């Protein structure tokens, strides 16, 4: 019973805090997040490159906070408005499984910055610099485990879930080690206090939001306590429940998270745009939008550091580039918060970890084809930001004829006095679709030939004689302003 008594005491404290400071819910609707793995982004300070070996994908590669600061103009050029950094904590120094802790998920000290990245003062300077550049900072928070070789495992064995608890638990996801990692026992008051203190600590360094790692493996009661406190402090929260579908996102938005990653959409988009699948499965995911308490905040992504790259799986490089371009254009038509992983804007390839964490390459090293993908991403992001309907509007799926369901997806976004029609063409060939407005469930007045809101794209729409006509390249997505 003891742990529950302590939990009750903490809940009482957080409720009292909430009553004295009724803050507005923080929102990321309208934001575009750029995900950075600092070790693999840009090396701005060779002096901190202890043990760096760029030829070894399992070793530290030298990227750091100084490098990230130097590349803020690049992130602004792409058009992102927020940066998610994978963890920057001080890491275990030893390797595990012949792999260094370059990825940040093997913490040894939750309240310090790893010397490979810089110092705590460097981190504070970075958040101030990002704020000055108009970029919000989302920091990865690990709350489930320490690194395998963290000193705490030996100095504080009582902080970790006992083996017997794992054996007896009905919830193995929570009480058993994730990949064998030393599992924090959040049923203990001291562990809870430390983790709540960690969140306060990083907030004080100028962080706007937390991306909480591996929430499937953390007790729900504790998560709610943590989220209450974040809400009171005005910190936006994004949970990572690996493989979450709309039902899981809905459940956790209800429970207190502002956002979760919609893994089911990622899988469906990759399968349709890159694999041999159809758009029906994408539609199936989008049809569940109504289940989400806050559909404008759900995190939408094509890939991240835990799944193979979006471009991976195409036989030819140019095909992977064309389809990544289509995926980015499609992503920017959807309601939610797009998250772009470093390198996806140039269709970087890579299989499972660590191949999906290849070093970022910048303009001077790009091929003309990579530059073209970047320019398409930049144009789509710019169009989304300029359009109140695309960035914050409601989303309605149109009824396309069943025979076209795997090749064509149509939806409208509406908001701020504007209406936008988005069209995805999953056929491999350029298509012109002519569809009866009444069958689509779309009300629209006659409209002369209109170009896509995305600059540099060969796509057009018109409305005449009760029909909608949309023309776009094979494997492409476009957005049009409806009159
Ligand atoms: Ca460095
Ligand atoms: Ca756990």
Distance 340 CA to ligand 2 centre (A): 28
Q: What is the mean pLDDT of residues 62-89?
A: 98
411-451 tens-digit pLDDT: 999 999 999 999 999 999 999 999 999 999 999 999 999 99
Query: What integer pLDDT is reported at residue 25 of this predicted model?
Result: 80
CA–centroid distance, 183 to ligand 2, in Å, is 5
Which residues form the domain of 476?
394-482
Q: Are 427 and 470 in contact (CB under 8 A)?
A: no
Closest CA to 209 of 82, 79, 97: 82
144 alpha carbon, closest ligand: 2
Query: Which ligand number lies closest to the CA of residue 191?
Result: 2
Task: Verify that 287 and 402 share a domain, yes or no.
Answer: no
- Tell me which ligand sits closest to the C-alpha of residue 39: 1
The pLDDT assigned to 23 comes to 59
Tell me the average pLDDT across 259-279: 97
- Split into its structural domains, the chain has a count of 2
* Residues 271 and 412 placed together within one structural domain of the fold: no
| CATH number of the domain to which 76 belongs | 3.20.20.80
Q: How far is the CA of 482 from the centre of ligand 2 (A)?
A: 49
Query: Nearest bound ligand to CA 173?
Result: 2
- One domain for residues 326 and 402: no
**Nearest by Cα to 80 from 36, 113, 44, 116:** 36
Distance CA 394, CA 391 (A): 9
Q: Is the pLDDT of residue 5 over 50?
A: no
For residues 246 and 239, what is the distance between their CA atoms, to the nearest angstrom?
A: 13
pLDDT for 9 equals 41
pLDDT at 12: 43
Residue 160 alpha carbon to ligand 2 centre in Å: 9
How many angstroms separate the alpha carbon of residue 66 from the centre of ligand 1? 8
Residue 197 Cα, ligand 1 centroid: separation in angstroms? Answer: 29
The CA angle 21-24-27, to the nearest 5 degrees, is: 140
Same domain, 380 and 452: no
Where is average pLDDT lowest: 16-30, 56-70, 129-143?
16-30
**In this model, does residue 315 exceed pLDDT 90?**
no
CA of 394 to the centre of ligand 2 (A): 37
Query: Is residue 440 domain-shared with residue 301, that is, in the same domain?
Result: no
CATH code for position 472: 2.60.40.1180
Tell me, in angstroms, the distance from the centre of ligand 2 to residue 371's CA.
Answer: 42
Tell whether 379 and 398 lie within a shared domain.
Answer: no
1 has pLDDT over 70: no
* pLDDT > 90 fraction of the chain, expressed in percent and rounded: 94
Which residues are within 5 Å of ligand 1 (an ion), measured at CB? 43, 45, 48-49, 62, 64
Q: Tell me the whole-structure pTM to 2 decimals.
A: 0.94
Residue range 188-238, pLDDT digits in tens: 999 999 999 999 999 999 999 999 999 999 999 999 999 999 999 999 999
């Amino acid at each position: 019973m003891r742990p529950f008594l302590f939990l009750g005491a903490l809940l009482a404290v957080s409720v009292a805090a909430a009553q004295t400071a009724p803050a507005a819910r923080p929102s990321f609707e309208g934001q575009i997040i750029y995900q950075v793995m600092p070790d693999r982004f840009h090396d701005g300070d060779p002096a901190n490159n202890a043990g760096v070996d760029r030829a070894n994908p399992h070793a530290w590669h030298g990227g750091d906070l100084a490098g990230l600061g130097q590349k803020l103009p690049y992130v602004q050029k792409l058009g992102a408005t927020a940066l998610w950094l994978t963890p920057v904590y001080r890491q275990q120094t030893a390797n595990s499984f012949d792999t260094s802790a370059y990825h940040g998920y093997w913490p040894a000290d939750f309240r310090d910055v790893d010397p490979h990245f810089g110092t705590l003062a460097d981190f504070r300077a970075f958040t101030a610099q990002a704020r000055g550049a108009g970029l919000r900072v989302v920091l990865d928070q690990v709350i489930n485990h320490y690194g395998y070789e963290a000193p705490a495992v030996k100095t504080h064995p009582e902080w970790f879930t006992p083996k017997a608890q794992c054996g007896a638990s009905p919830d193995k996801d929570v009480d058993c080690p994730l990949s064998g990692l030393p599992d924090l026992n959040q049923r203990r008051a001291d562990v809870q206090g430390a983790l709540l203190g960690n969140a306060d600590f990083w907030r004080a360094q100028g962080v706007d939001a937390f991306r909480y790692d591996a929430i499937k493996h953390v007790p729900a009661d504790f998560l709610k306590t943590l989220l209450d406190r974040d809400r009171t402090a005005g910190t936006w929260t994004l949970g990572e429940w690996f493989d979450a579908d709309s039902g899981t996102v809905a459940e956790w938005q209800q429970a207190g998270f502002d956002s979760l990653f919609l893994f089911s959409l990622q899988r469906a988009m990759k399968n349709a745009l890159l694999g041999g699948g159809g758009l029906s499965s994408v539609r199936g995911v989008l049809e569940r939008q109504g289940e989400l308490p806050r559909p404008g905040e759900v995190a939408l992504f094509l890939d991240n550091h835990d799944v193979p790259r979006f471009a991976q799986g195409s036989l030819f490089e140019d095909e992977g580039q064309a389809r990544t371009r289509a995926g980015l254009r499609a992503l920017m038509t959807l309601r939610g918060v797009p998250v772009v992983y470093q390198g996806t804007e140039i269709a970087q390839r890579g299989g499972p970890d660590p191949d999906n964490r290849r070093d970022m390459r910048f303009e001077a090293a790009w091929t003309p084809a990579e530059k073209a993908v970047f320019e398409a991403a930049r144009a789509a992001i710019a169009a989304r930001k300029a359009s109140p309907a695309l960035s914050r509007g409601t989303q309605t799926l149109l009824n396309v004829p069943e025979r076209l369901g795997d090749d064509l997806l149509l939806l409208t976004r509406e908001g701020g006095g504007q209406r936008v029609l988005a069209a995805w063409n999953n056929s491999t060939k350029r298509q012109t679709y002519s569809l009866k407005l009444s069958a689509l469930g779309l009300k629209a007045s006659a409209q002369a030939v209109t170009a896509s809101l995305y600059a540099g794209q060969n796509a057009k729409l018109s409305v005449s004689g009760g029909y909608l006509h949309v023309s776009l390249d094979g494997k492409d997505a476009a957005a049009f302003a409806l009159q």
